[in-house]
Structure 1
């Protein structure tokens, strides 16, 4: 979220990959332990899951909080498509 805030306020920096929307998108996908289909399947019955799996779903939700703003800054492609899937999946997460 902090990186997205800096990119929003100051703009991307082509000289520093930490402030690149493409790098942030890649780092976000790398940080997610589940795929969108896996998260969707678990979210359908999250109240019945062990606390560890609920925590994992919450972490996915927290790690994807910035995607609405990030996807607008990305070029069309596989990374953007994956993040758009996560944007839809996020709405289902506890």
Structure 2
């Protein structure tokens, strides 16, 4: 019974995060303003210290991400067939 309660609690937290992201989408159409909100919700839900969102640019075939560092923002880009992220995007399969 305790395990079932914990499972339901985790599922409730995930759904709550999804609702938070959907609220952000409905209130803000600017991608640069949305990304921090989405990442904050995902990081909190996953109980992680930090997270990175990689986005596929279909026009260039590149994967990109922006990272805040100090007072600035750094953008990284690489071909979609490189690395673990490229594998996941190309095949749709996660790697553990």
**Larger RCO: 1 or 2 (CA < 8 Å, sep 6+):** 1
Q: Would the TM-score normalized by the shorter structure come out above 0.5?
A: no
Higher helix share: 1
| Greater gyration radius | 2
The normalised TM-score by structure 1 is: 0.29
Structure holding more strand per residue: 2
In the superposition, the TM-score normalised over structure 2's length comes to 0.28
